[in-house]
Amino acid sequence: MTASLHAFADSLDGARRLAAALGLGCHTVALRHFPDGESLVRVEPAPGTAILYRALADPNARLVELLLAAAALRDGGAERVVLVAPYLPYMRQDRAFVPGEAVSQRVVGALLADAFDAVVTVDPHLHRTPDLGQVLPGCTAVAVSAAPALAAGLANMVAPDTLLIGPDAESRPWAAAVAGALGLELLVADKQRGGDRAVTLALPDAGRARGRPVLLVDDLLSSGGTLLAATALVKAAGARSVAAAVTHCLAGAGDLARLADAGIAPLLAGDGVPGPIATIALAPVIAQALRQHRLC
Ligand code: R5P
C-alpha cells in the first residue's frame, strides 16, 4: 500500500523528521479559521495509507481539527488513516476522582478510535489503564517507548557516577529503561500531589546523591512542580549537579524559567511537543514502530 504523511503547520519540524526517517514526503494540512472561530482544514488527496502527524499540546481545538483532517483524508481516497500523536492528551484523567467528573481518557480515546484505524503515540500516561488498546477500542494502538531516544540524546553528557532518579512510582518504567541503557544507578522517589502545583517527594536513599551528578527522568513536564521538588530534595542531600530529561514538555516559559533558576541544567525533552527544550528527536523510535506494525 502506498503511504503519505500529512502534518499541521504547528507540527512540521517533528513531522519532517519522521517523513525523512520513513523516506516519505511531508504534506502540510491547510488550516484556516472563520471569523466565528470554527476551523476549516484541507488535505492533499492520499490513496493508500495516510499518516496524520500532530503535536497535541493545548489540545482542544487541535483535536477537532484532527477529526476534520481524518475525514478529509478518507474522502480523498485514503484506505487507512493512521494518527501519529507523539503526546496523547487527556490520558491523566483516567477516572472520576471526584463524583461528577468526566473520565476524559475514555471520552477522548473513543473519539480517536472512531476516527483513525491506528494511533501511534509515545510514552502515553497510562497509570491505571496499563494497555493503550483499552483506551482506543477497535483501533490499532501503538505505545512507543522514548527511552532509546532519551538514552541516545543523553549518552554523551552523563558521567558514569550519575545517579538517575525517577520522581514517582509511575516514572519507574522509563526511568529504569534509560538507566539500563546508560548503565546508571536508579532510585525512584515517592510522590504525593496536593494540587496542580503542590508536590512533595520522599526518597529514603537520598543520601546516595551526595557529591554526585543527578539526572531526573520522567514522562511529562507540566507545571514543573515534580522536577522542582525532586531538585530541592537531591540538592539538600548534596547532589553536585541536577539535569533532567522528559519525554514530553508541556510547560510554558514561566515554569521553564523557574526550573532553570532552580539550577536544572541541562533540561531536555523529546520533540513530540515543539518548544525551547524539545531537542531529542523521537522520529527514529516512531519510524521503527510504524514499520514494525506495518503501518507505513
Ligand atoms: C505524573 O504522574 C507524571 O509522570 C509527571 O510527573 C507529572 O505529570 C508532572 O507534572 P508537573 O510538572 O506538573 O509536576
Tens digits of per-residue pLDDT, 36-92? 999 999 999 999 999 999 999 999 999 999 999 999 999 999 999 999 999 999 999
Where does the pLDDT of residue 127 fall: very low under 50, low under 70, confident under 90, or very high at 90 and above?
confident
Taking only the tens place, the pLDDT of each residue in 131-150 is 999 999 999 999 999 999 99
**Would you state the cell numbers that stand for residue 175, as one nine-digit string?**
526511568
Marked catalytic residue, from 6, 27, 80, 191: 191
User: Which of 128, 217, 222, when mutated, tests ligand 1's pocket best, judged by the most ligand atoms within 8 Å of its CB?
Assistant: 222
Say if ligand 1 is within 6 A of residue 225 CB.
yes
CA of 144 to the centre of ligand 1 (A): 19
Give, rounded to a whole angstrom, the gap between the first and last alpha carbons of the chain. Answer: 8
H-helix or E-strand spanning residue 246: strand 241-249
Q: Are 44 and 77 in contact (CB under 8 A)?
A: no
Amino acid at 158: V
Cα 111 to chain centroid, rounded:
19
CA of 172 to the centre of ligand 1 (A): 13
Q: Which atom of ligand 1 is nearest to the CA of 221?
A: 12
CA of 33 to the centre of ligand 1 (A): 33
Length of the chain: 296
Say if ligand 1 is within 6 A of residue 129 CB.
no
Where does the pLDDT of residue 128 fall: very low under 50, low under 70, confident under 90, or very high at 90 and above?
confident
pLDDT of residue 204: 87
pLDDT of residue 29: 98
Amino acid at 265: A
Say if ligand 1 is within 6 A of residue 221 CB.
yes
CA of 182 to the centre of ligand 1 (A): 23
Amino acid at 161: D
Say if ligand 1 is within 6 A of residue 170 CB.
yes
Average pLDDT over all residues of the chain: 96
CA of 188 to the centre of ligand 1 (A): 14
Q: Are 95 and 88 in contact (CB under 8 A)?
A: no
User: Which of 218, 223, 256, when mutated, tests ligand 1's pocket best, judged by the most ligand atoms within 8 Å of its CB?
Assistant: 218
pLDDT at 10 exceeding the cut of 90: yes
Amino acid at 74: R
Taking only the tens place, the pLDDT of each residue in 196-209 is 888 999 998 999 99
Amino acid at 248: H
Where does the pLDDT of residue 275 fall: very low under 50, low under 70, confident under 90, or very high at 90 and above?
very high
Measured distance CA(1)–CA(78) in Å, rounded = 10
User: Which of 219, 250, 255, 259, when mutated, tests ligand 1's pocket best, judged by the most ligand atoms within 8 Å of its CB?
Assistant: 219
Where does the pLDDT of residue 216 fall: very low under 50, low under 70, confident under 90, or very high at 90 and above?
very high
**Would you state the cell numbers that stand for residue 270, as one nine-digit string?**
523529546
Measured distance CA(224)–CA(7) in Å, rounded = 29
pLDDT of residue 38: 97
pLDDT at 195 exceeding the cut of 90: no
**146: which residues sit within 8 A by CB, 6+ positions away?**
122, 123, 174, 219, 247, 270, 280, 282, 285
Place of cell 489503564: 129
> Within 10 A of 106 (CB to CB), how many other CB atoms are there?
17
Q: Are 200 and 173 in contact (CB under 8 A)?
A: no
Measured distance CA(92)–CA(253) in Å, rounded = 22
Where does the pLDDT of residue 97 fall: very low under 50, low under 70, confident under 90, or very high at 90 and above?
very high
CA of 226 to the centre of ligand 1 (A): 6
**39-42, strands of its sheet edge to edge:** 39-42, 26-33, 3-8, 48-53, 78-84, 118-122, 140-144
Say if ligand 1 is within 6 A of residue 247 CB.
no
Measured distance CA(274)–CA(261) in Å, rounded = 22
Mean pLDDT to the nearest integer, 171-198? 93
> Within 10 A of 295 (CB to CB), how many other CB atoms are there?
20
Measured distance CA(15)–CA(51) in Å, rounded = 10
Taking only the tens place, the pLDDT of each residue in 222-272 is 999 999 999 999 999 999 999 999 999 999 999 999 999 999 999 999 999
Amino acid at 284: P
Atom 3 (ligand 1) nearest CA: 220
Say if ligand 1 is within 6 A of residue 222 CB.
yes
Q: Are 246 and 221 in contact (CB under 8 A)?
A: yes
> Within 10 A of 97 (CB to CB), how many other CB atoms are there?
8
Q: Is the dihedral of CA 110, 111, 117, 123 positive or negative?
A: negative
Is 191 known to be catalytic?
Answer: yes
> Within 10 A of 211 (CB to CB), how many other CB atoms are there?
9
Where does the pLDDT of residue 126 fall: very low under 50, low under 70, confident under 90, or very high at 90 and above?
confident
Say if ligand 1 is within 6 A of residue 220 CB.
yes
